[in-house]
Amino acid sequence: MPAVLEIKNLDVSVEGRKILQKANLDVYDGEAHVIMGPNGSGKSTLAFCILGHPAYKVEGGEIIFKGSVLNDLKTDERARLGIFLGFQNPLALEGVSFFSLMQAAREAQNAKRKAQNMDIFELHNELGEKVSSLGLDKDFVMRGLNDGASGGERKKLEMAQAKTLKPRLAIFDEIDTGLDVDALKKMGEEISELKKSGVSVILITHYQRILNYVRPDKVHIMVDGSIVQSGGAELAEKINESGYSYLKCPVQT
């Protein structure tokens, strides 16, 4: 079976500076891949490129999703194909509620599936349950998205969006940063649930601790815009113990 996502020799520049260099990654159905790497190594750039952020220029290589090349598609077209990105720094959208955003997204999904739009009261209840299950007050459904929300609350709202949209591929960029210990456990369990339901996950993180709750199929280390090493959960443990200096003298296996 082909991979859900194939990144092939991706070269990307931003503002004329090369950031990604021959990045490669294959993600299969229902797999969870973790990407770690030093600050500024290009992890968020890779996530933005998969969604087609216009500031990032693809100079070479391909991004293939479910067998189709995405390179020339706009962000909304990629989202409609079933790719979701939870941002490292979710922005506040004053005047656009979680409800109205999810309503628009559901309408777009239903139009694509030629399905009938759901009742708005049903959607309101569903979103209320989603935010409550993440430990957020139901007020978050109608408030401006992330408006006045704390760092941890914003990460929970990113997860609430992923749970509502049920994408085929969910990319979470540091969704574990800024969470208290209970919220971290809950977030890990939510990611695990998504994986069990067949969603492919790319989890960008600096910390091994979320992997106590999400069993990764692969862990990759990105340095200077390339994946320099891939392995299992033990790779995240090595980084946790020794930092990235470990990569300069890799253990012989």
Residue (39 or 116) nearer to ligand ATP, CB: 39
Instruction: Tell the smallest beta-carbon distance from residue 40 to Mg ion (Å).
Output: 8
C-alpha gyration radius of the chain: 18
Which residues in 80-113 are b (16+ Cβ under 10 Å) and which e? ebbbbbbbbebeeeeeebbbebbbebbeebeeee
Residue (44 or 208) nearer to Mg ion, CB: 44
Stretch near ligand ATP under the rule CB under 6 A, chosen from 36-44, 78-86, 141-149, 188-196:
36-44
Verify binding: residue 42, ligand ATP, rule CB under 6 A: yes
Verify binding: residue 88, ligand ATP, rule CB under 6 A: yes
Instruction: Tell the smallest beta-carbon distance from residue 43 to ligand ATP (Å).
Output: 4
* Rounded Cα–Cα distance for residues 133 and 136 (Å): 7
Stretch near ligand ATP under the rule CB under 6 A, chosen from 13-21, 136-144, 164-172, 233-241:
13-21
Sequential DSSP letters for 9-37: EEEEEETTEEEEEEEEEEE-TT-EEEEE-
Verify binding: residue 15, ligand ATP, rule CB under 6 A: yes
Q: Which residue is nearest to Mg ion (CB)?
A: 44
Reported as type and span, the H/E element at residue 94 is strand 93-97
For ligand ATP, how many residues bind (rule: CB under 6 A)?
13
Token pair for residue 81? 């194909």
Please state, as a whole number, how many other Cβ atoms lie within 10 Å of the Cβ of residue 150: 10
Give the binding site for ligand ATP (CB under 6 A).
14-15, 19, 37, 39-45, 55, 88
